[in-house]
Chains A and B, each alone.
Chain A
Amino acid sequence: MNAKELFQIFGDIEDDFIWEASPKTKCQPVKRSVSRWVAAAAAAVMVIIAIPVTAYAVELSQYNAAVAYLASLGIEAGDLSDYSRREVIDAVKTYDAGESNAMIDALLPSDDGKMTVTDQIAQVTSEQVRSLKPTMTCSDVIAALGNTIDIGSGIYILQYEVDGEYLINIPFASDTAQLGVTGDKLLEAKQPIEDSQ
Chain B
Amino acid sequence: MEDKEIIALYFARSENAISETALKYGGYCCYISENILHNREDAEECCSDAYFDAWQSIPPHNPQNLKTFLGKLTRNRAIKKLEHCQAAKRGGGQINLILSELDECLPSGSNVEEKLQESVLLECINSYLLSLPALHRKVFVRRYWYTSPISDIARQYAMSESKVKSLLFRLRKQLKAKLEKEGFFL
Contact = CB atoms under 8 A, between A and B. Distances in A.
B55 interface: no
A173 B148 CA distance: 27
A7 B158 contact: no
Interface residues of A, number: 39
A25 B27 contact: yes
B134 interface: yes
10 contacts: A1-B112, A2-B103, A6-B105, A11-B72, A13-B129, A17-B137, A21-B137, A21-B139, A62-B158, A68-B135
A72 interface: yes
A1 B122 CA distance: 13
Given A11-B72, A25-B28, A20 B156 contact: no
A10 B123 CA distance: 10
Nearest to B100: A3
A178 to B, nearest CB: 10
Contacts of A24: 156
Given A3-B99, A3-B106, A65-B157, A15 B65 contact: yes
Contacts of A8: 79
Interface string B116-159: 00100111111101100111111101101110100010001111
B62 interface: no
B157 A11 contact: no
A9 B122 contact: yes
B145 A10 contact: yes
A123 B26 CA distance: 52
B31 interface: yes
Given A15-B65, A21-B146, A64-B158, A26 B27 contact: yes
Given A2-B106, A6-B105, A20-B141, 15 more contacts: A1-B185, A2-B103, A4-B99, A7-B99, A9-B118, A11-B75, A14-B126, A18-B71, A20-B134, A21-B145, A69-B135, A73-B133, A154-B182, A155-B124, A174-B127
Nearest to A62: B158
Interface of A: 1-4, 6-15, 17-26, 61-62, 64-65, 68-69, 72-73, 96, 153-155, 173-175
Contacts of B79: 7-8, 11
A65 B129 CA distance: 21
Most chain A CB atoms below 10 A, which of B27, B31, B121, B135: B135
B102 interface: yes
Contacts of B122: 9, 12-13
B126 A174 contact: yes
Contacts of B111: 1
Contacts of B75: 11
A65 B158 contact: yes
Contacts of B139: 21
Most chain A CB atoms below 10 A, which of B31, B79, B158: B158
B182 A153 contact: yes
A154 B142 CA distance: 23
A8 B125 CA distance: 12
